Every structure is written in C-alpha cells, then in structure tokens.
C-alpha cells in the first residue's frame, strides 16, 4: 500500500480494523474508514494518526445509496484522493433455509450487496477523472466468501449475497478496465477469530480443511493488500480464494 490513499468500508472492527492497521504498516500515507459505528472507526484510525498520517472517518448505514455517496464524498474531500477502496462491511446471519424472513433477506441484500454496489459506484466516479499512477487510476477490493461456492443451507441468504458480490466484481471490472481501474475480490473461508469460536463452527471447518485449521485474519488480509496495492497493475475481475484448500477453483 506504499504511497496510496486507502478507504476501508467496515473498517471499525474485525478484519476491516486489522486491514486498517496493516495498510498503514504497509506504507499507506492516507487512511479513511466508513463504518456505521463512528466511535469504532475513530479508534481504528489511531495507529495511522500515531504515525502522523492524514486520517478521517464517516458514519454510514450502507443500506442506503444516498448515504453511501455522501459518506464517500466526505472522506474523499478530506483526503483529496482515494487510490484503493476495500469493501469489508457485511453481516453474517444464520437461519435454516426454509425459515429465512423478509427482514433477514432485506438486511442481507441491503448491506452485503447494495452497500457494496453503491460504494463501488461512488469510488469509480471519484477515480475515473483522477490522474493515474502508472497505468492505474484506482483499485477496488471486495470481501466475498467461499460460501459463494458451497452449499450452505444454514445461511443460504448470506451465501447468495456473496455469490452476487463475485458477479458484481466481474461486471464492474469489465466495465471500468478501459479507465485503468482494477476490481477484484477476496473470498476467505472461516477465520480463527473469537466470533468464529463463539459461533461454534471453527472446529468443524478445521476438520474439513486440508491444512487442518482456520485462517489467521492476517493471512487473509495479506491478499487484500496485494490486490489493492501498487504491485497489482494488471489483475482485474478475479476472485482470490483463501481457504486453506477448503474450496478449489
């Protein structure tokens, strides 16, 4: 991320907050976070500010398109330029496939699909007119999931939204290739987080994985940094599966 201005949507906690820290350590010189929890976003910016970097946040419910665009524009105005957008915000509901309610469908599609879509549109409108660095005007990385490629009757609505994000990634990548904007996604399997342990599926995943364990969050984050960083000058429309062999593509 050396020399880039990075914006992370959903960067207030979890993998997003880890990405914020790692982006700074990797050389990002400006950092923005958009999150529904403004206090969490501000805390996640502390490592950047401790290094004297320009950093700002905005609060946003990404289910609403106008809010997405206003939040993006507010962060971009303060930082001056967005080189890399990372869409990390998502919810992970679990409900048997025959029992999913309309409210659960609406929340899943609103956050996981529509929010990602609107943030990509905002980023592209910002990136298209800006001066390129080398051949690249901007990079977008979307967090998807291996659930997009597996049968998951306990969270079919989540899996469906992540499959939709893979499709959106490819469509956007094709549309903006001529503009020098690279759009990719990263699809992890379950990560070894406290939340995963509390949900009780990490041990099951470890047994199913050829490597015998869930990923450390940093092992997934490294691929996000690669896809969104200056070393990626040609890859676009790809979905990078980081699953320890749980899913092969």
Domain that holds residue 108: 5-242
35 within 8 A of 11, measured Cβ to Cβ: yes
Per residue in 212-241, pLDDT (tens digit) is 888 899 999 999 999 999 999 999 999 999
> In the chain, how many domains are there?
1
Q: Is residue 36 part of a domain?
A: yes
**Tens of pLDDT along 146-171?**
999 988 898 999 999 999 999 999 99
Is the C-alpha dihedral spanning 97, 170, 24, 214 positive or negative?
A: positive
CB of 62 within 8 A of CB of 112? no
CATH for 108: 3.40.50.720
- Pick the catalytic residue: 158, 234, 246, 248? 158
Known catalytic membership, residue 92: no
Q: Cα separation of 181 and 173, whole Å?
A: 7
- The whole-angstrom separation of Cα 37 and Cα 39 is 6
249 located within any domain: no
Domain contains 247: no
Question: Which position has the token pair 């984050």?
Answer: 221
More confidently predicted of 94 and 18 = 18
Residue 145 lies in a domain: yes
Q: What percent of the chain has pLDDT over 70?
A: 100
Who has greater pLDDT, 6 or 249? 6
What is the Cα–Cα distance from 14 to 190, expressed in whole angstroms? Answer: 13
In a domain, 248, yes or no: no
User: What pTM does this model have?
Assistant: 0.96
Least confident of 21-35, 70-84, 99-113, 192-206: 192-206
* Domain contains 171: yes
What are the tens digits of pLDDT across the range 27-73?
999 999 999 999 999 999 999 999 999 999 999 999 999 999 999 99
End-to-end CA gap in the chain? 27
Task: Read off the pLDDT of residues 173-196 as tens digits, 9 standing for 90 and up.
Answer: 999 999 999 999 999 988 877 777
């Amino acid at each position: 991320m050396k020399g880039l201005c990075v914006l992370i949507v959903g960067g207030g906690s979890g993998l997003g907050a880890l990405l914020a820290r790692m982006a700074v350590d990797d050389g990002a010189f400006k950092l923005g976070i958009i999150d529904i929890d403004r206090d969490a976003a501000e805390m996640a910016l502390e490592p950047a500010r401790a290094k004297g970097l320009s950093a700002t946040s905005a609060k946003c419910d990404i289910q609403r398109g106008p809010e997405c665009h206003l939040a993006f524009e507010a962060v971009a105005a303060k930082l001056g330029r967005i080189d890399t957008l990372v869409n990390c915000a998502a919810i992970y509901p679990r409900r048997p496939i025959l029992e999913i309610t309309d409210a659960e469908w609406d929340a899943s599609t609103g956050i996981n699909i529509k929010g990602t879509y609107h943030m990509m549109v905002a980023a592209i409108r910002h990136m298209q007119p800006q001066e390129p660095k080398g051949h690249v005007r901007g990079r977008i990385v979307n967090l998807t999931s291996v659930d997009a490629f597996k049968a998951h009757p306990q969270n079919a609505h989540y899996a469906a939204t992540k499959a939709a994000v893979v499709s959106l990634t490819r469509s956007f990548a094709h549309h903006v290739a001529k503009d020098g904007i690279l759009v990719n996604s990263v699809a992890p399997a379950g990560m070894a987080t406290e939340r995963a342990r509390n949900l009780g599926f990490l041990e099951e995943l470890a047994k199913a994985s050829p490597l015998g364990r869930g990923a450390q969050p940093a092992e997934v984050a490294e691929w996000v940094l690669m896809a969104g960083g200056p070393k990626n000058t040609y890859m676009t429309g790809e979905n990078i599966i980081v699953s320890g062999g749980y899913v092969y593509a």
